[in-house]
Structure 1
């Protein structure tokens, strides 16, 4: 299942970024304005995010889409 692999890869990357910055799920969730439970679901690859949600998440993490691609 390609969709599950994509959700898992996204979750792993988000977790790696969070850990590299020394943040707990609670701290990162507060920064991203979401609940820790929702963030945990994303990190485990259980949440099916829309492209809009991924775009917002990337912006909040400082990894937004280059202006020419918007």
Structure 2
């Protein structure tokens, strides 16, 4: 796990929870398995740039909010 991956995942989880979404809800919107979302949030998986954009849209936030 890299520092940036951990920070990104933590921020994604914070936003997801603030929006009242489960990992399953978010996974369904993105068309991925919930374990993929779990891996992102734990900082053990990396997302492609196009998927980061999709994640931001699904959470209703600008990409910048995910990397603060």
The corresponding residue for 1:68 is none
What is the match of residue 9 of structure 1? 7
**Structure 2 regions of 5+ residues with no counterpart?**
64-68
- Which structure is higher in RCO with an 8 Å CA cutoff and minimum separation 6? 2
* Deviation (angstroms), 1:38: 0.4
**d(CA) in 2 for partners of 1:24, 1:59:** 16
Can you list the C-alpha shifts for 1:21-58, whole angstroms capped at 9, x where unaligned? 11111111112221101000000001122323323322
Task: State how many pairs are aligned.
Answer: 63
Q: TM-score, normalised by structure 1?
A: 0.72
Q: Where in structure 2 are the equivalents of 1:26-37 lying within 5 Å?
A: 26-37=24-35
Gaps of 5+ in 1: 66-70
Structure 1 runs (4+) greater than 6 angstroms displaced: none
